[in-house]
Amino acid sequence: MRIVCMSDTHCLHRTIDVALEGDLLIHAGDFTFFSEEPHVLRDFNEWLGELRFRHRVVVPGNHERVMYARPEVRRVIAKATLLINEAVTIEGVRLWGSPVTCDDEAFGCATAQERRALYASIPPDTDILITHGPPYGVLDTEFRGSGTSRGCTELLAAVQRVRPQVHIFGHARSGRGALRIGPTTFINAAMFGGSGDLEHRPISFDFPLERRG
């Protein structure tokens, strides 16, 4: 399965200058800029429908907090499977997604105890974990060279317990990149940069990943 993933496109999805095509598209959140305007969500949904993928999965980010305040708005994203603390199986691949971050209360779970309870619900057989926020200490720096971490310790503990093959996230834009630790390949797919534009391409990979060792 050819998977293309991205995050933090912030209303600039139509400026992506690559021919997107594959089996599964994954967007890990922040496709708006704190926008509650219906036309912004509709345009993103229409764009999703124009892409040449058999399947599309979207996890909101903290900028889509309107989806927490007004759950009825979630219906606008009709061209993709929207995951908000839930699982889906696509062509035998088990995915679980959450918009929760540890540094923003947009989707609740503001305390460590609440996040531990939420992440305890991740199915143990999850193949691909999708969260908007990063795990603590893994591709989670906000500003290049600052050393400031935006990662969640409770999420890291959950990843270490579940051991998914892939963990896709964004939010910490300077942490952009991929890193394999043990059985899990971590992908920070953030595309938005300090220039106020999309500075990176989507990240593509074939699943299942080639096993090492």
Instruction: Please report the pLDDT score of residue 66 as a whole number.
Output: 94
Q: Could you tell me if residue 213 is inside a domain?
A: no
Q: Could you tell me if residue 212 is inside a domain?
A: no
Q: Could you tell me if residue 70 is inside a domain?
A: yes
C-alpha to C-alpha distances, 156 to 47, 54, 162, nearest whole angstrom = 32, 31, 10
The two structure tokens encoding residue 139: 């591709």
Q: Do residues 163 and 199 lie in contact, with contact meaning Cβ atoms separated by under 8 Å?
A: no
**Rounded to 5°, angle at Cα 115 from 126 and 129:** 20
First to last CA, the chain: 22
Does the CA dihedral 90-83-34-117 come out positive or negative? Answer: negative
C-alpha to C-alpha distances, 110 to 100, 106, 115, 118, nearest whole angstrom = 9, 9, 7, 11
Q: Do residues 97 and 83 lie in contact, with contact meaning Cβ atoms separated by under 8 Å?
A: yes
Instruction: Please report the pLDDT score of residue 34 as a whole number.
Output: 86
Instruction: Please report the pLDDT score of residue 147 as a whole number.
Output: 65
Torsion of CA 152, 158, 162, 168, to 10 degrees: -20
178 has pLDDT over 80: yes
b (16+ CB within 10 A) / e for 193-208? eeeeebebebbebebe
- What does the pLDDT look like over 131-175, one tens digit per residue? 999 999 999 987 665 567 889 999 999 999 999 999 999 999 899
Instruction: Please report the pLDDT score of residue 18 as a whole number.
Output: 66
Mapping DSSP to helix (H, G, I), strand (E, B) and coil, where does residue 198 land? Answer: strand
The two structure tokens encoding residue 148: 């400031």
Mean pLDDT confidence for 103-108: 92
The two structure tokens encoding residue 74: 């979630």
- What does the pLDDT look like over 11-66, one tens digit per residue? 999 999 767 889 999 999 999 998 778 899 999 999 999 999 999 999 999 999 99
Number of domains in the chain: 1
Nearest by Cα to 200 from 8, 3, 44: 8
pLDDT band, very low/low/confident/very high, at 213 (cuts 50, 70, 90): very low
Pairing outcome for strands 21-27 and 81-82: unpaired
Q: Could you tell me if residue 211 is inside a domain?
A: no
Cα separation, 3 vs 187, in Å, equals: 12
Which residue range is the domain that position 33 belongs to? 2-206
Question: Which contiguous run of DSSP H or E holds residue 107?
Answer: none
How many percent of the chain have pLDDT more than 90?
85
Mean per-residue pLDDT over the chain, rounded: 93
Instruction: Please report the pLDDT score of residue 196 as a whole number.
Output: 84
pLDDT band, very low/low/confident/very high, at 210 (cuts 50, 70, 90): confident
Mean pLDDT confidence for 93-112: 95
Instruction: Please report the pLDDT score of residue 50 as a whole number.
Output: 94
Greater confidence, 108 or 149?
Answer: 108
176 has pLDDT over 90: yes
Pairing outcome for strands 86-90 and 81-82: unpaired
Supply the CATH number for residue 34's domain.
3.60.21.10
85 has pLDDT over 90: yes
